[in-house]
Amino acid sequence: MSEPILEVSGLTACYGMISALKGIGFYVNDNEIVGIVGPNGAGKTTLLESIAGSMHIKEGQINFLGHQIERWPVLKRRQLGLMLVPQEGNIFPLMSVKKNLEVSVILSNRAKKEELIDRVYKLFPVLWEKRRQIANTLSGGQQKMLAVGIGIASNAKVMLIDEPSIGLAPKLVTKLFETLKKIKEDTRTTIVLSEQNIKVLNIADRLFGLEAGEIRFDEKTENLSRDVVKDLYLGSIS
């Protein structure tokens, strides 16, 4: 197997006195879907924000595409090809759907821009229907799709998505996960998502189990027993 494109080692991050990550090691290979699973407060969000650069880390290294990026500002990481769709506050609430997508393609060249926005509309036809609507008047599920759409429009090499399924109906979750898989296959994007939904087993190539700021397991999905994962690391929602 080739070198990982994203590798994290010895990552420690704190909120004041509370340490949320206690020396984490984590890696992602090219064109993989990796799931980070764990109970509430495990540190999933903290890990993703640390990688994207919106959280200040205390110790550790982050290597991305051969660069040591742990001291880089968000913007520079973004330019190198990292994008995070945060768990909350992941849309521009007072802009129309269309404008949300238009600003998200800011780093791409003109020809690419239209292609990316079209791709989002194809994946989420409902966004095309609602393109003139102001984002914060969309339903919760539609807002989630817009958030993922913003991630897709950004055309990053590695897309980090924090709990995309939260608040979505079971049917929509299945559809969203299929869409993510399709994105991966069509565009060779690498996707890292944190999840509490058991269906993540259907799309992820590998899973990391995170609990109380420490990695508990790192396994290929096919080697994992459903029940063990479910009992220990996933919520009862299925």
Partner 1 sequence: MILNGIITGLIMGGILSLPVLGVAVIYGITGIPNFAIGVIGVFGGFLTWYFLSFNMGIAILVGVVFCFAIGYIIQRILLTPISERGGDSTLFFIVTVSLGFVFEGLMRAIFPRPSISLALPRIGTINIAGVTVEGFKIFALLFALGTLVIIRLLEEHTEIGKSWQATSQNLKLAKLIGIKTNRVFSIASGIGCALACVGAIFWGSLYNLNLMTGWDLGFLGFIIAVVGGIGNIWGGIISALIMGMVMSFSGYLLGGMWQSVILYFIVILVLIVAPKGILGSERSL
Ligand X SMILES: Nc1ncnc2c1ncn2[C@@H]1O[C@H](COP(=O)(O)OP(=O)(O)OP(=O)(O)O)[C@@H](O)[C@H]1O
Residues of this chain that interact with Mg ion (CB under 5 A) are: 44-45, 87
- Residue 185 is classified by DSSP as H
CB of 83 or CB of 101, closer to Mg ion: 83
Question: Which residues fall within 8 angstroms of residue 9, CB to CB, at 6 or more apart?
Answer: 25, 60, 61, 63
Strands (E), 139-221: 158-162, 190-195, 206-211, 214-220
From residue 15 to residue 54, what is the string marking binding to ligand X with x (rule CB under 6 A)? Answer: x--x-x-----------------x-xxxxxxx--------
Contact status: 236 vs ligand X (CB under 6 A): no
CB of 14 or CB of 74, closer to ligand X: 14
Q: How far apart are CA 46 and CA 193, in angstroms?
A: 13
Question: Which residues fall within 8 angstroms of residue 102, CB to CB, at 6 or more apart?
Answer: 113, 117
CB of 41 or CB of 170, closer to Mg ion: 41
Query: In this chain, which of 33, 52, 161, 180 binds partner 1, going by CB under 8 A?
Result: 52
Question: Quick one: residue 49, left, alpha or beta (phi over 0 = left, psi -120 to 50 = alpha)?
Answer: alpha
CB of 142 or CB of 154, closer to partner 1: 154
Q: How far apart are CA 58 and CA 148, in angstroms?
A: 29
Contact status: 74 vs partner 1 (CB under 8 A): yes
Query: In this chain, which of 102, 178, 211, 214 binds partner 1, going by CB under 8 A?
Result: 102
Contact status: 155 vs ligand X (CB under 6 A): no
CB of 216 to Mg ion, least distance (A): 17
**Amino acid at site 184:** K
The candidate with the shortest Cα–Cα distance to 7, out of 86, 58, 66, is 66
CB of 53 or CB of 209, closer to partner 1: 53
Q: Footprint of partner 1 on this chain (CB under 8 A)?
A: 52, 54, 74-75, 78-79, 83-84, 86, 89-95, 99, 102-104, 106-107, 150, 154
Q: Footprint of ligand X on this chain (CB under 6 A)?
A: 15, 18, 20, 38, 40-46, 87
